[in-house]
């Protein structure tokens, strides 16, 4: 069965520093992969998605993610973090024939001034 692992529960970075959030997936074929962000008190918002093609995908708010088949990873990156990026980030994989999303457990990002 498809699954997603986010190994980091909580990450703290300084404002202006670079960021990488890890995501590993388990899937038999080429997966559809997603990153969602949940700002405090709000619902989730799609940051970016990977279906096929270029393995480096650009998203909103200056985020990007790279699909690495050999590592079964889809890590999220941002070169310079802003205080407004403090939020919880969820990686997700499509659930095969069911057309459902399977979410990871999330990584809570704190940004220090």
Partner 1 sequence: DVKVTQSSRYLVKRTGEKVFLECVQDMDHENMFWYRQDPGLGLRLIYFSYDVKMKEKGDIPEGYSVSREKKERFSLILESASTNQTSMYLCASEDQGNYYEQYFGPGTRLTVT
Q: Given the rule CB under 8 A, which residues bind partner 1?
A: 9, 32, 34, 41-46, 49, 90, 92, 94, 99-101, 103-106
C-beta of 62 vs 95, nearer to partner 1: 95
Q: Residue 56: left if φ>0, alpha if ψ -120 to 50, beta else—which one?
A: beta
C-beta of 27 vs 90, nearer to partner 1: 90
C-beta of 2 vs 75, nearer to partner 1: 2
User: Cβ 22 to partner 1, closest distance in Å?
Assistant: 15
Give which of 38, 6, 19, 12 is closest to 110, Cα–Cα: 12
Are 68 and 6 in contact by the 8 Å Cβ rule? The answer is no
User: Cβ 8 to partner 1, closest distance in Å?
Assistant: 13
Residue with token string 């940004």: 111
Task: Report the first-to-last Cα separation within the chain, whole angstroms.
Answer: 41
User: Cβ 73 to partner 1, closest distance in Å?
Assistant: 18
């Amino acid at each position: 069965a498809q699954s997603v692992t986010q190994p980091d529960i909580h990450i703290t970075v300084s404002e202006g520093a670079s960021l990488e959030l890890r995501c590993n997936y388990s899937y038999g074929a080429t997966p559809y992969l997603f990153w969602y962000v949940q700002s405090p008190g709000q619902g989730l918002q799609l940051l970016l998605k990977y279906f096929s093609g270029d393995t480096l995908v650009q998203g909103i708010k200056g985020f990007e993610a790279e699909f690495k088949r050999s590592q079964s990873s889809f890590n999220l990156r941002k070169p310079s973090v802003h205080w407004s990026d403090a939020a919880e980030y969820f990686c997700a994989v499509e659930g095969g024939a069911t057309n459902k999303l399977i979410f990871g457990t999330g990584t809570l990002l704190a940004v220090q001034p």
